[in-house]
A and B are shown apart, each in its own frame.
Chain A
Amino acid sequence: MAITQAMCTSFKQELMLGTHNFATNGNAFKLALYAEGGGGKSSTTATLGAATTAYTTTGEVANSGSYTAGGGALTKVAPTTSGTTALTDFSDISFTTATITAMGALIYNDTNSDKAVAVLDFTSNKTSTSGTFTVTFPTADASNAIIRIA
């Protein structure tokens, strides 16, 4: 699999280095969409997983509608705790009037050198045709939140 869902290993290290700030007035994070099977810009294929360290244009989907290179800005929800689990969340993100086929996404820190946070695997190609492409984040609780430390 060229796109494998994972929390990036470099991100775990960078958490200990204080590189990432998820507070609402903290760093800016973005979500970029990627294609498999040569579906990306210039027929490139994404290879993303735990070893990904930063945003890359290889395999990123082409500009369409409101989607432009680098993807869209994420709106942060302040980190919180639930029991012994710390978690953070983002608002859902949409790209409109877009023709996109994507197999996964990368969340990265736009403030700090585009450092990678997490790779998301959609498990199958998702396609919008002159329409809306929305990524809905999971329920922000100890079992489902997008980023959790237990």
Chain B
Amino acid sequence: MFQINAAEIGNVKVNTSQNGGFSSDQIADMATDKIVYVADNAPPAIQEQARLFADRVRNLLRGYVDLAKKEERATIIQVIEQTGNKELANIIRRL
């Protein structure tokens, strides 16, 4: 006789934003959670090290998310300016 010990589902996490998309901090947190997982049953010293590593990853990601947003906006502004809509380009520039 064979028995399946457990058929289980994991816990999802929900992230939401208000009046716009996610902030760079939120995106960096979400990405860091995917990259670094700290098990609750890991030895305290390992947990501490993993959390420090996660903080470094988060800070690095935040910087690059900011850069990606800025560069994407720069491209959009350029395309809009080429169509002659300087007012709209300025609105996006101020974001």
Contact = CB atoms under 8 A, between A and B. Distances in A.
Contacts of B4: 149-150
Contacts of B8: 7, 147-148, 150
Contact of B21 (A5, A132, A139): A132
Given A7-B8, A132-B21, A148-B8, A139 B14 contact: no
Interface in B64-81: none
Main secondary structure of the interface of A (DSSP, over half): strand
A150 B9 contact: no
Contacts of A2: none
A130 B12 contact: no
Contacts of A92: 30
Contacts of B17: 128, 131-132
B52 to A, nearest CB: 19
Main secondary structure of the interface of B (DSSP, over half): mixed
A15 B11 CA distance: 21
28 contacts: A6-B9, A7-B7, A7-B9, A12-B7, A15-B7, A120-B12, A122-B12, A122-B14, A126-B16, A130-B19, A131-B20, A132-B17, A133-B14, A133-B16, A134-B15, A134-B16, A134-B22, A136-B15, A136-B30, A136-B33, A137-B12, A138-B11, A138-B13, A139-B10, A146-B10, A147-B8, A149-B6, A150-B6
Given A133-B16, A148-B8, 16 more contacts: A5-B11, A12-B7, A126-B16, A128-B16, A130-B20, A131-B16, A131-B20, A134-B30, A136-B14, A137-B12, A138-B13, A144-B10, A146-B12, A147-B8, A148-B6, A149-B7
